[in-house]
Amino acid sequence: MLSGPEHCFDYVNDAYQQLAGSRVLLGRPVRAVFPELAGQGIFEMLDRVYATGEPIRASALPVRLAHTPGKRFVDLLYQPIRDAAGRVHGIFAGGYDVTERVDAETELRQLNATLEERVAERTLARERAWQTLAETQDALRQAQKMEAVGQLTGGIAHDFNNLLAAISGAHQLMRLRLDQGQTQGLHAYLDMGERSVRRAASLTQRLLAFSRRQTLDPRPTDVNRLVLGMEEMVARTVGPAVQLTVAPAAAPWPTRVDASQLENALLNLCINARDAMPEGGRLELSTANRTLGEHGAAAQELPAGDYVCLRVTDTGTGMSQDIVQRVFDPFFTTKPLGQGTGLGLSMVYGFVRQSGGQIQVDSEPGRGTTMTLLLPRHGGDAEHDEAGQASDAPDRGSGATLLLIEDEDVVRTLLVEVLEDAGYTVLSAADGPAGLLRLQAAGPMDLLVTDVGLRGGMNGRQVADAGRLLRPDLQVLFITGYAEAATVGNGFMEAGMELMTKPFDLATLVTRVREMLDRRRT
């Protein structure tokens, strides 16, 4: 964030400081900080944005810095910052260091220039390599990988086509009944469509969990409180034929994890345990503390240190070692056709690994199975559940003003309508720069609701950070279907920032907005 015609630094983040090197930035004009940029066009671009009020974007702009050899390449966005009267008084500078990408593209072009010669050399080398045992093993591993990819894509296509058929069929029948002037029974078709949407969302979350790309919201968690809070639900789920025992540790360490996802993972393991005990049996949930040394941690592909253990032990049929080796593969299942998707355990595995932990399987045929989740110890205290302590629901809308930034037109229209129906004043924008202009304008702004992956050169997190510089007490609700951990979520959100994952019930969105506004008033 730069201010004034001299472009003095008001704020820089860690990425900009890393690019700049060991220089004093805050409070100094850009020309004094980077004298070597003279003649490279950077100063002129800043002056033009400040003078005209028009933003400037640049792609793969070459920059020479004194402390780094050779050229760096950057993607830049210079966005003017205006005061209440509309006058430019500063510049928001965002961007990315894309040197590695440009170097890779340059190298690719050079490789393509000698492609024919390299292909001939590669062909000869491959003909010789195929004669060795090592190349044969590589080919086998590649074949296994492709088989797994084929199994994954086939399973996804099968499940999603079924779900799309259900949604499409329900909508077609509703249209047919409406064309016939019949409205009786339409709610049944709506329920069918909504159930299919929820199943599709669940399948997507499982796939993201398997690939370790789901958006998590980790918080310090007391595993004893979590497990004891699940006891009644697990007991109802596994049924009376299964004897449930909960064995909490005396003083378990806290761990930093997405508690709702951990509950889902444990419930999934309990359901698998129940299915492995068709005649009934014993199921135990236990917690413990565990310290891994260098050797033990390396065996688990973990760093040495303290971990919290959660064990799910059953007295079921157990598994042979060849099944144990495949139990986390996507769409692999030992259940009869039509029972289970084969994604449950792969989801659990992906979630635990994404949370910095590991899962162990100890099983033998006829001797039951123990699933052990190892999660890193958190250095602070666990958060206490404050559910039920919120203030009474306010009047509809309470005069609050919201800014909604969403680049999908249909989604934006729906969200604006439901929030306005709830009584809020809703301003909307279709991309990041337009949203930033809304934040720069005068007038009240109680809450920013923004998608994360936005078009227009600024993502939702960048808009939120810039908005908080302009309005320090601004609360932010991110809505996303998938977000990189470095952008939002996964522990990188600040106080007053919350996250909802698409798709969500519209009523849930209104409730979350109301709760965030309530907390702001208290």
Residues of the chain with pLDDT > 70, as a percent, come to 80
Q: Which residues of 235-259 are buried (b: 16+ CB within 10 A; e: fewer)?
A: beebeeebebebebbeebbbbbbbb
- Residue whose C-alpha is closest to residue 466's, from 188, 94, 201, 132: 94
Binned at pLDDT 50, 70 and 90, residue 188 comes out as confident
Residue by residue, what is the 3-state secondary structure of 201-265? HHHHHHHHHHCCCCCCCCEEECHHHHHHHHHHHHHHHHCCCEEEEEECCCCCCCEEECHHHHHHH
For residue 70, what pLDDT is reported?
A: 84
For residue 140, what pLDDT is reported?
A: 52
For residue 292, what pLDDT is reported?
A: 92
How many other C-beta atoms lie within 10 A of the C-beta of residue 458? 24
DSSP state of 301: T
Q: Is the dihedral of CA 14, 19, 22, 23 positive or negative?
A: negative
Comparing 72-86, 152-166, 252-266, 480-494, which segment has the lowest mean pLDDT? 480-494
Q: What is the mean pLDDT of residues 180-194?
A: 82
Instruction: Flag whether pLDDT at 493 surpasses 60.
Output: yes
| Fold topology of 401-521 | Rossmann fold (3.40.50)
Instruction: Flag whether pLDDT at 385 surpasses 90.
Output: no
Instruction: Flag whether pLDDT at 59 surpasses 70.
Output: yes
Report whether 454 contacts 407 (CB < 8 A): yes
For residue 489, what pLDDT is reported?
A: 47
Comparing 21-25, 28-32, 125-129, which segment has the lowest mean pLDDT? 125-129
Alpha-carbon distance 188 to 186, whole Å? Answer: 5
Pick the CATH number of 2-97 from 3.30.750.24, 3.30.450.20, 3.40.50.300, 3.40.640.10: 3.30.450.20
For residue 179, what pLDDT is reported?
A: 86
Instruction: Give the DSSP H/E element, type plus range, for residue 71.
Output: strand 71-82
For residue 238, what pLDDT is reported?
A: 86
Instruction: Flag whether pLDDT at 359 surpasses 70.
Output: yes
In sequence order, what DSSP letters do the residues of 122-147 get, joined into one string? HHHHHHHHTTSHHHHHHHHHHHHHHH
At residue 210, φ and ψ (nearest 5 deg) are -60, -40
| Fold topology of 219-376 | Heat Shock Protein 90 (3.30.565)
pLDDT, tens only, 281-339: 999 999 999 999 998 888 888 999 999 999 999 999 898 888 888 777 765 565 544 44
Comparing 73-77, 89-93, 395-399, which segment has the lowest mean pLDDT? 395-399
Strands 2-3 and 88-97: antiparallel
Instruction: Flag whether pLDDT at 134 surpasses 60.
Output: no
Which of 101-110, 126-135, 343-352, 470-479 holds the top average pLDDT?
Answer: 470-479
In sequence order, what DSSP letters do the residues of 435-493 get, joined into one string? HHHHHHSSS---EEEEESS-SSS--HHHHHHHHHHHSTT-EEEEEES---TTTSSTT-P
Report whether 396 contacts 514 (CB < 8 A): no
